[in-house]
A and B are shown apart, each in its own frame.
Chain A
Amino acid sequence: MAVLATMSPEQARARKLRRERRNRSVRHAILLLWIGFIMFPIFWMVSTSFKDSGEWVAWPPHWLPHAPTLHNYAQIFAFAKIDTSLSRQAAEQAFSIWKALGDATLVCATAALLALLLGTFLAYSISRFNVGGRYFRHTILTIRMIPPIVVAISILIYYAVLIPFASTAVFGVRISLFDTYVGLILIYTVTTLPFVIWMMLTFIDEVPYTLEHAARLMGAGRITVIRRVVLPLVASGMVVTFLFVFILNWAEFLLALTLTHPEVTTLTVLLNKFQSASEGRLYGPQAAIGTMITIPVVILGMLIQKHLVKGFSFGTIRK
């Protein structure tokens, strides 16, 4: 009190400024530490992707490659037989990334597209007709509370045993979803559908009812109303949702590992296969693939980050 009383307004203001500056510095220091903690594995991965095999597990660690090389990238992007100078006796394990890249793109994009189509219409019906009851929209996401490992084995049994058995018994044809594009696409569609519904709900809820009423009064049927009024207004939301779901699929590992082998291989599964009998894990090529998988995710993430906040806030910060 006495101090305050003897301080001029200028001094008080200067004191307040100093305090604010100090608080800000502390806050930033904590955030920087946290970023360092989060980013270190990614830094290590990128750094390793440019190291030659001798440097992968060197001790003391080489933070940056002493002799930077593109061998790892050359190895994963190789179209043909790997040159022995690159292979370091691991030529037969030097998988090319191209097949997995194709598989992953096909599976992830198709599944995301399917989930988007189904999810958009489901979200529309939930938003407009309260399908599933009042609380359905809040319970949709609970399906994501089940860890994939819990269902992975049961689905494997369905895919590899029960469905083939049943189809043989009933139709006389053996249909197996194990290690097929269809099988993986189906499971990805199902697991990401809740996210699509949840995100599209927030976008569709923002389209005023009266727009649809107006269109219907002018003679438009339900389908025309959805096609010409609702969908154009949520188009940007659909793009965001598609990208988000695509990223989810792109990074999925466990289900792909369990439900495929050896035909269908996604990038995350391929990553796990980089081992050689003589050298153990091939950290360099693994790091190179890891880097390549990460790049599109980072780019897409930056593109949709603004919309993601909107989607994830569950409509609570609606205008």
Chain B
Amino acid sequence: MARILIKDLVKTFGAYAAVNGISLDISDGEFLILVGPSGCGKTTTLNMISGLETPTSGQIVIGNTVVNDLEPGERGLGMVFQDLALFPHMTVFENIAFGLRVKKIPDREVHERVTAAAAAVHIVPLLDKLPRHCSGGESQRVALARTIVTNPSVFLMDEPLSSLDAKLRVDMRTELKALHKRLSATFVYVTHDQAEAMTMADRIVVMSRGRIEQVGTPLQIYNRPASRFVAGFFGTPTMNFVEGTVELNGSGRHFRAPGLEQPLSDAVPAELAGRTVVLGVRSEHVLVGDGAALKGTVQLTEPLDDVTLVHFDYGQAVLLVAKAGPTTPLQPGSALSFRFATDYCHLFDADGTRLY
């Protein structure tokens, strides 16, 4: 029905390649999230799917139709924009009705469908208002209703929650997820917020500099990042990285860096021995407590609600972060001992590719 196939998609602006040959297979009814830093090509990709940008090369297939040469309005898509793009001179009703009016649908049906769409996102009392009289959350719902009303099989969303405050954003996440379930349409969603991606997506596409870094479920992305970039992009606080070498000796595999030695899992390939690598470990896998071999000094603590982030050094210029319990006695200046959870150490080579 609304499977989207993207083949070798390229978009260049002059000499600059915004999207540099990406291929994707988005299945019908999937909630796919494109995520990456500003300028990684995610919005350009979305705009090419919508038809607002013309690909330099490559092919986009929606359903069974190659849509490259179709006008945006002929692709059967609905889109929610970052700035919502509500028409300021039309009432909420007319905003929602716009797509139907363009298609010359009879008045009575327009009225029924607009009311139904408004009811679906709980904004019926707003129908006579102008967008400038709606709050941020209400405008968000108007934009959603305007998209729902035409029954598109594919929803495109370009950072739709970025203008909302933190609490509302979390609420809207849940609602979007519920909406996706109810409509069982294909959602392609763009964000630079990793929390949005982790909580809503069926699959995440991580993009960087016009290329796809990794495609996978949120857990795959978090637990087995395909590159140092992905590893660093997901997770708060950012993953710890330490440069060093892999060594092989009688007791197994070890990672050695100035001031730090850490046993590695036996699953680490033996041929990595002697190589310079970057070891990555998430803060929750830095185990702080008595009996650990490595020593450090606390520099800074950040109490969050359920954890305390402990920033510490181990005699080198590198700062590491560990997650400790909310009642940890550690204070800046106090000594601590630590080790890394052996099974959760990631190894990357110098250019960022995952080695283990």
Contacts and interface: CB of A to CB of B under 8 A. Distances in A.
Contact of A210 (B71, B73, B83, B98): B83
5 contacts: A211-B87, A214-B79, A216-B72, A217-B72, A233-B89
A219 to B, nearest CB: 3
Contacts of B82: 210
A220 B71 CA distance: 10
Contacts, number: 58
B263 interface: no
A211 B83 CA distance: 9
Given A211-B87, A229-B87, A217 B102 contact: no
A217 B89 contact: no
B72 A211 contact: no
A217 B152 CA distance: 11
A221 B74 CA distance: 10
Given A214-B85, A218-B99, A219-B150, 15 more contacts: A210-B82, A213-B52, A214-B81, A214-B87, A217-B51, A217-B72, A217-B73, A217-B79, A218-B150, A219-B99, A219-B102, A220-B102, A224-B102, A233-B88, A233-B89
A166 B87 CA distance: 51
Contacts of A216: 51-52, 71-73
A60 interface: no
A170 B73 CA distance: 48
A218 B98 contact: yes
B78 interface: yes
Interface in B61-80: 71-74, 77-79
Contacts of A208: 83, 85
Nearest to A219: B73
A131 B266 CA distance: 64
A219 B50 CA distance: 12
A255 interface: no
Interface in A203-239: 208, 210-211, 213-221, 224, 228-229, 232-233
Most buried by B among A214, A221, A228, A229: A214
Contacts of B98: 215, 218, 220, 228
A192 B315 CA distance: 74
A228 B89 CA distance: 10
Contacts of A217: 50-52, 72-73, 77-79
A232 B130 CA distance: 14
Interface in A107-143: none
A301 to B, nearest CB: 27
Nearest to B99: A218
B103 interface: yes
A233 B82 CA distance: 20
A232 B90 CA distance: 10
A78 B98 CA distance: 55
Contacts of A232: 89
A147 B85 CA distance: 44
Contacts of B50: 213, 217
Nearest to A211: B85
B249 to A, nearest CB: 60
A232 B73 CA distance: 21
A146 to B, nearest CB: 35
A215 B146 CA distance: 11
Contacts of B74: 219
Nearest to A235: B89
A233 B88 CA distance: 8
Interface string B79-118: 1011101011100000000110011000000000000000
B71 A213 contact: no
Nearest to B83: A210
Contacts of A214: 79, 81, 85, 87, 146
Contact of B85 (A213, A220, A224, A228): A213
Contacts of A221: 71, 73
Contacts of B87: 211, 214-215, 229
Nearest to A222: B71
A318 to B, nearest CB: 16
A123 B32 CA distance: 39
Contact of B103 (A211, A219, A233): A219
Interface string B34-69: 000000000000000011100000000000000000
B73 A218 contact: yes
A224 B85 CA distance: 16
Given A216-B71, A217-B52, A210 B89 contact: no
A210 B88 contact: no
Nearest to A214: B85
A219 B78 CA distance: 10
Contacts of A219: 73-74, 99, 102-103, 150
A237 to B, nearest CB: 13
Interface in B115-153: 146, 150
Contacts of A211: 85, 87
A233 B89 CA distance: 7
A224 B61 CA distance: 27
B72 A210 contact: no
Most buried by B among A215, A219, A224: A219
